[in-house]
Chains A and B, each alone.
Chain A
Amino acid sequence: MRIVLHLAEQTVREAMRRRFLNVILLFSIVMIGASSMFSQWAPGAELKMMLDTGLGFIRFFGMLMAVFIGAMLIPTEVETKTAYVLLSKPVTRWHFLLGKFLGAFATVGINVLIMGGVFVLVMFLKRGTFEAVPNLYSNLAYAVVLLACEMLVLLSITVMVSTIASWIFTSVFAFFVYFAGHVSASLKHLATPEYYESPLARGMIKVLYVVLPHFEDFDVREPIIVGDPLEWSIVSGTIGLGLLYAGIMITLGWLFFSEREV
């Protein structure tokens, strides 16, 4: 575990020194800060507008970070041959992959938390408008944690694919999975004779439904607007499923990477 954490720390340090990441973070903070302005365009639905724009920006910029950091994590190491030196030390492929993945997740997670913090601050500054909304700040905290978990799942898929593909292919694939993952719940309804007569087509849709991540589960804007308290048991269940999915992806990535020659 010492080696894994050492690699993770190095990965965070490397990512934090990347200019593009700092630019994305800065830009996202500006956009999240500006979300209070957008809310003025929807009188009577300020909270919905704030949540749609603020959490939407966090989700969008978090997704960009997860995809680009994840897609470049392994291919860059192999292409620039830094993996040669690293794997010539007593570092297994599992150490390497897990350490890099945890470092990448720490980077994305820290950035999501910073963006989430800025968003909560913006909400706090507009507290006069939303003081009647119950459970607002605790629900927002859960929303940010769930967003970080969503990014964990996306990152794990990206890293898994990057062990066998170029970073460009991986990025395109990850974007596709991300958007498909946001509509995957509707696949369940499509896998019925009402929509598809062919059992084969229905079977394929069912497989897709099972395999694709269900990113909608991480979206809790509705209960925040209504003011329903988010139950920890439900939140922790979603996080648990996210961790399980990410664990399966990283294990698959390790199986691919352990057979790969560098």
Chain B
Amino acid sequence: MASAIKTEGLTKYYGSLLRKPVVGVEDLTLDVKMGQVYGLVGPNGSGKTTTLKLLLGLIFPTRGTMTLLGRDVRDPASRQRVGFLPDGPYFYDHLNADELLSFYGGLFGLSGAELRKRSDELLEMVGMAGPERRRRIREYSKGMIQRVGVAQALINDPDVVLLDEPTAGLDPIGAMQIREIMFRLRDRGKTVFLCSHLLGEIERICDNVTILNEGCTVRQGAVQDLVEPGEGYMVEGREVDNEGEQAIRELADSIETGDGLLQAVASDQDKAVAIAQQISENGGEVVSLSRRRRTLEDIFIETIRGGRE
């Protein structure tokens, strides 16, 4: 499969001759295939935004190579089929949503009925097709700006969409709408490159992920592989009496209680079923029985604490 985004040994040091260089990103190698939803995660200052700015030619690498849709990023044509939503986007606030989309669409050579149709579709998609589309952007809330930002990123019907913290600062409904848009883009076969520190979001949406810390890659791979099921089973129950708890302790590898909830970890399936039976027989209620699973958040915290691989 062709690469949508490819970097090799991408390195960016900030600083001058008089100051010690600061690592923006170091030796980053990415190969994002067409149609993938790729997540770049890391704590603040880990190099996510630096990577995006390098890919878009806003800043220049200290060393390394980058291509977007097979073209060197220094070639402006590499951005013809690319959409970008920056973190905390700023737009010309004297324009309204219609004018903004018309302006950005014009940069891609869109005009007339085609541009109007595309603007209408996008504003409809981001829930801004009402009278607010004719209000000046300076009157918009943060959520509205973010939604218009998503619309402008898609004005050229891009093959690759780069999103920097797309749900940051949005209320739960707004964040959900943006997530739905990302799912829709994925379903339409678009390549989505998502920078975020919202790990639940990344886990739900992305196929592959790179975890950055202090500019360095600390983990890379398919989300499915990273969050593969852990060992053992988790049984959760409520209202378990002391006698039942005692019996469960003998079966479980570990047990935690609190707020009326009992969480027991069993090494195999038979023991997990036995624990569930104990809960029922002792007047309790089985809340769940599942394979133990490491979330991306577990992996993230583990790798960030552990440093580089």
B112 at the interface (CB under 8 A from A): no
CA of A262 to CA of B59, assembled, Å: 6
Chain B residues with Cβ below 8 Å from A7 are: 107
Please tell me which one of the listed residues A6, A82, A88, A90 contacts residue B92 in the complex, with CB atoms under 8 A apart.
A82
A10-B103, A81-B90 known; A88 and B109 CB under 8 Å? no
- Asked if B109 and A261 make an inter-chain contact with CB atoms under 8 angstroms apart, the answer reads no
Within 8 A of A (CB), among B78-129: 79-80, 82, 84, 86, 88-92, 94, 103-104, 106-109
A138 at the interface (CB under 8 A from B): no
Please tell me which one of the listed residues B57, B108, B156 contacts residue A87 in the complex, with CB atoms under 8 A apart.
B57
- Asked if B86 and A84 make an inter-chain contact with CB atoms under 8 angstroms apart, the answer reads yes
CA of A10 to CA of B91, assembled, Å: 12
CA of A85 to CA of B156, assembled, Å: 13
- Asked if A85 and B60 make an inter-chain contact with CB atoms under 8 angstroms apart, the answer reads no
Question: Which of A2, A83, A261 has the largest number of chain B CB atoms within 10 A?
Answer: A261
Closest B residue to A6 by CB, please name it: B106
Given A88-B56, A88-B162, A89-B108, 9 additional A-B pairs, CB 8 A:
A3-B107, A17-B94, A80-B90, A81-B86, A84-B58, A85-B84, A85-B104, A89-B107, A90-B80
- Asked if A6 and B91 make an inter-chain contact with CB atoms under 8 angstroms apart, the answer reads no
* CB of B294, distance to nearest CB on chain A (Å): 36
- Judged by DSSP, the binding face of A is helix
Closest B residue to A88 by CB, please name it: B84
CA of A80 to CA of B89, assembled, Å: 9
Report the contact-size class of chain B (Cβ under 8 Å from the partner): 20 to 34
Chain A residues with Cβ below 8 Å from B56 are: 84, 87-88
Please tell me which one of the listed residues B82, B90, B94 contacts residue A88 in the complex, with CB atoms under 8 A apart.
B82
* CB of B300, distance to nearest CB on chain A (Å): 27
B258 at the interface (CB under 8 A from A): no
A37 at the interface (CB under 8 A from B): no
User: A-contacting residues of B (Cβ < 8 Å)?
Assistant: 53, 56-60, 76-77, 79-80, 82, 84, 86, 88-92, 94, 103-104, 106-109, 152, 156, 162
Closest B residue to A83 by CB, please name it: B58
Chain A residues with Cβ below 8 Å from B162 are: 88
Chosen A-B contacts, 16 in total, with CB atoms closer than 8 Å, are: A2-B109, A3-B107, A6-B107, A7-B107, A13-B94, A17-B94, A81-B88, A81-B90, A82-B90, A82-B91, A82-B92, A84-B53, A85-B84, A87-B56, A87-B58, A88-B58
Chain A residues with Cβ below 8 Å from B152 are: 85
Question: Which of A6, A17, A89, A90 has the largest number of chain B CB atoms within 10 A?
Answer: A89
A85-B86, A85-B89, A261-B59 known; A90 and B108 CB under 8 Å? yes
A216 at the interface (CB under 8 A from B): no
Chain B residues with Cβ below 8 Å from A80 are: 90
* CB of B228, distance to nearest CB on chain A (Å): 36
CA of A85 to CA of B146, assembled, Å: 13
Chain B residues with Cβ below 8 Å from A83 are: 58
